[in-house]
Amino acid sequence: MAQPPDALGNEGAGEVLGNAGPLSTPFWFDALAVFSQLASVDGAIDSASKNPTILGLGPAFNANSCFTCHSQPTIGGTSPAQNPQLPLAHAFGATNAEDLGRFLKPNGPVREARFIFDPNDATNNTLDGGVHELFSIQGRSDAPPNCQLLQPDFNTQINNHNAVFRIPIPVFGEGLIEGVTDFDLINNLSNFASDKSSSHIAGRFNRNGNDGTITRFGWKAQNKSMYLFSGEAANVELGVTNEVFQNEKVPGLGCATNGLPEDNTHVLAANPPGNDPASTTSLVSSAVENFALFMRLNGAPGQCAFNSTVDSSGAAVCISLTDTSTSTQAAISQQIARGKQLFGTPSNGGVGCVLCHSATLTSGTSNITGLNNRQFAPFSDFALHHMGATLADGVNQGLAGSDEFRTAPLWGIGQRLFFLHDGRATNLLQAIEAHFSDPNVCFKSSASESFTVNGHSFSPLTSGQSCGSEANDVVRSFNALCASDKNAVLEYLRSL
């Protein structure tokens, strides 16, 4: 269910960006339809819905639609209560046999699997870190008849402690995040310097390897833009090759029959309805571009008191965090206000959550009014922080190391069902406690090279060490709170 607007000007999760423009707004609705569209191997009409499908599912894949992963509390969100991946194992006659029940549960989160070490290297000296897709199209009625592609051996990798997992990230308000300038992100990271120093919190940014600018999307901030994120997700999660990622990631034997990227920009739109400019734009654009536009123009999640429910007609309501219309609501607002204070800086009586989960940022200049220099509240600094052994996944992405993660944005967290990068937590208290890691467990990294260029020898050497989690002092402070104050923090978070 989409969230209604709040008293602060946020559109609500699942709503189109306000002031998106006369053409962008209808384009968003058209792009939403593509985002929810099923993918099939051959691109045939779906027999159940009678709707067209996106060509090119597989050969290996994790889902058959963006909506599969992004549906809670509405389209564009994250994992729903019931995992929609499990039926895909045998859909259309697929012959997937590997039992995934050890990490995919009917009432558990949507997940993708990664391997820490390359399972083909018996010496365990080669890092992997990549996604290993859960399903194969082998045996499907829409797949090539001679397609041969077995699933990875997940059970063996789990037994070898070599498998790690990730859940989908909500994609609300992404255009605002995309627009923040690097300058503002850097300045924001320098805020509260004294509090951060006393709490042993630092942080650094992941950066694009080509132009050096700050990357900000994904669990390790590994992606630069919504367009890049869309292209990667289409290829990795759906198996659909496209103009951003042109090659089949896992071709199998006799499975990949499309020599060209399966998703492309269309030079001419086929039968644009009523010659509507927005519909024409959506039809000309590739599916990947539609995905990106949908996410870019998603509204910002609202801040609604945790007791907001639905009205007599079943429509969602949003009670202001400062509502005092009744004595009961006044007491709830007071509790939320206390939680907000405790969420804040230690120098202002808080435990320090805000030192990483920054309360406000400002989007940069945009020709879309709703994205232009707008202050918003993602509750993230979009920087990488060492989280220690409790959360470490052993995966390196860009500059992000094995225990580093982007500060997860907290807006919309009150409507999520699973928490942390792998969905291990099913409530906010579990998630907070998992931010603590043994300070005696350290992570070491080093790299060295030796080479000669233009007759001169170079021997660069880098090394680093981190122990425990940057959040340890914050978690200690939270645990020292009385029961009512702990609950106030949780109720504030449930209102974001």
Asked if 6 and 65 sit in the same domain, the reply is: no
DSSP code of residue 449: -
The 10 Å CB-count burial string (b at 16+, else e) for 281-306 is: bbbebbbbbbbbbbbbbbbbbbbbbb
The answer on 427 and 334 residing in a single domain is yes
Per-residue confidence at 30, pLDDT binned at 50, 70, 90?
very high
Distance (Å, whole) CA 69 – CA 111: 8
Look at residue 85 in the predicted model and tell me its pLDDT.
Answer: 98
And the tokens for 297? Answer: 């123009």
Please give the residue range of the domain that contains residue 371: 1-16+181-215+301-496
**196-243: pLDDT as tens digits:** 999 999 999 999 999 999 999 999 999 999 999 999 999 999 999 999
- For the residues 454-481, what does the mean pLDDT come to? 97
Domain count, the chain: 2
Same domain, 128 and 163: yes
Of 298, 332, 359, the position where a domain reaches its end is 298
pLDDT at 270: 60
Please name the residue ranges forming H helices in 325-383. Answer: 327-343
What pLDDT, in 10s, does the model give residues 108-158?
A: 999 999 999 999 999 989 999 999 999 999 999 999 999 999 999 999 999
pLDDT of residue 23: 86
Q: Does residue 318 sit in the same domain as residue 388? A: yes
* C-alpha distances out from residue 40 to 202, 287, 318, 486, Å: 45, 13, 38, 48
Q: Which pLDDT value is given to residue 271? A: 63
Do 96 and 239 share a domain, yes or no? yes
| 445 and 332, same domain (yes or no) | yes
DSSP 137-204: -TT-TTS-TT-B-PPP-HHHHHHTT-EEEE-PPP-TTHHHHHHS-HHHHHHHHTTTHHHHHHTT---B
Length of the chain, please? 496
CA distance 245 to 262: 10
The answer on 231 and 327 residing in a single domain is no
- Mean local confidence (pLDDT), 437-441: 98
> What is the spatial distance between Cα 63 and Cα 257, in angstroms, rounded to a whole number?
20
Q: Which helix (H) or strand (E) holds 380?
A: none
In which element (H, E) is residue 67 found? Answer: helix 66-69
Same domain, 309 and 407: yes
Predicted confidence (pLDDT) per residue in 245-267, tens digit = 999 999 999 999 888 899 999 87
DSSP 390-442: TT-----BTTB-TTEEEPPP-TTGGG-S-BSTT--BSSHHHHHHTT---TT-E
For the ranges 54-58, 121-125, 212-216, 328-332, which has the lowest average pLDDT?
Answer: 121-125
Query: Would you place residue 456 in the very low, low, confident or very high pLDDT band (cuts 50, 70, 90)?
Result: very high
- pLDDT of 457 higher than 90: yes
**Given pLDDT bands bounded at 50, 70 and 90, which one contains residue 279?**
confident
pLDDT confidence of residue 281? 82
Q: Left if phi > 0, otherwise alpha if psi is -120 to 50, otherwise beta: which for 221?
A: left
Q: What is the 3-state secondary structure (H, E, C) of 290-334?
A: HHHHHHHCECCCCCCCCCCCECCCCCECCCCCCCCCCHHHHHHHH
pTM: 0.95
pLDDT digits (tens, 9 = 90+) for 154-209: 999 999 999 999 999 999 999 999 999 999 999 999 999 999 999 999 999 999 99
- 313 and 324 co-located in one domain: yes
Burial of 413 (0-12, 13-18, 19+ CB in 10 A): buried
More confident residue, 428 or 312: 428
Residue that is last in its domain, among 274, 298, 322? 298
Instruction: Indicate if 408 and 384 belong to the same structural domain.
Output: yes
Residues ≥6 apart with Cβ < 8 Å to 479: 433
Paired strand residues for 384: 204, 406
Give the residue from 298, 321, 352 where a domain finishes.
Answer: 298
Specify whether the CB–CB gap between 378 and 397 falls below 8 A.
Answer: no
Q: How far apart are CA 390 and CA 342, in angstroms?
A: 24
150 and 236 assigned to the same domain: yes
Instruction: Judge if 148 and 229 occupy the same domain.
Output: yes
